[in-house]
Chain A
């Protein structure tokens, strides 16, 4: 069974901390994505990557950065966590160019910044 694994299900961090959210997929997918999910706003794209060491900004990249050193791993970094970054974070992956078959999602990391 194909999988996208997010390292933490729940995370509590302090304001100003540097936070790493890790995502690993075992499907040899080219594309990987980080979304943020907030009530009423749905999922909003933070960053995506279509190849190793390649990254593109999504709709809400401010306050975030990403790293993709290996094809299977895509990390989201909060350089200095703030309370407005308290949210659910979802990682996903897809084939390229057959992304229209759909994404495979991880189970999410619920991050609370205090």
Chain B
């Protein structure tokens, strides 16, 4: 079974600065997908960014980028120019595409507070 670990339960950052959230995972699979989801106080989970394991290039979405280290099984999220609206819970998640139903396995989450 896959496991996903987020070692930082809480983090804070000043507005406009850069912050990196850590995620490691354990799998014996070679092909899989990794995700970062954001859950603001409204509770609506929002997909932030996704990475396909067979792609070496790190995914980027505007101010959000990932550092994907396949050999180290590490998938960190970098948020540049942090904004107050980035305050949320962030969850790292793993998907093995061959699974029936394509289940997501989530980490424990990191609560990020952006301070003005």
Binding site for B on A (CB under 8 A): 31, 33, 35, 40-45, 48-50, 56, 58, 88, 90, 92, 94, 96-97, 99-103, 105, 107-108
Chain A residues near B9 (CB-CB < 8 A): 40
Cβ–Cβ contact B45 & A31, under 8 A: no
Across the interface, name the chain B residue whose C-beta is closest to A109. B43
Task: Supply 15 further A-B pairs (C-beta < 8 A) apart from A40-B9, A56-B101, A100-B52.
Answer: A33-B103, A40-B108, A40-B109, A42-B4, A43-B104, A50-B100, A58-B103, A90-B45, A92-B104, A94-B102, A96-B101, A97-B97, A100-B33, A103-B47, A107-B44
Cβ–Cβ contact A42 & B109, under 8 A: yes
Chain A residues near B50 (CB-CB < 8 A): 100-102
Cβ–Cβ contact A100 & B102, under 8 A: yes
Chain A residues near B105 (CB-CB < 8 A): 45
In the assembled complex, the CB of A62 is this many whole angstroms from the nearest CB of chain B, namely: 17
Given contacts A102-B50, A105-B45, whether A42 and B107 have CB atoms under 8 Å apart is yes
Cβ–Cβ contact A43 & B102, under 8 A: no
Q: Give the size range of B's interface with the partner.
A: 20 to 34
* B75 on interface, CB distance cutoff 8 Å: no
Given contacts A97-B102, A102-B35, A103-B104, whether A88 and B52 have CB atoms under 8 Å apart is no
Interface of A is mostly: strand
* B42 on interface, CB distance cutoff 8 Å: yes
Chain A residues near B44 (CB-CB < 8 A): 105, 107
Across the interface, name the chain B residue whose C-beta is closest to A6. B43
Cβ–Cβ contact A42 & B106, under 8 A: yes
Chain A residues near B52 (CB-CB < 8 A): 100
Per-residue interface assignment for chain B, residues 31 to 73, with 1 indicating a CB less than 8 Å from any chain A CB and 0 otherwise: 0010100000011110100101000000000000000000000
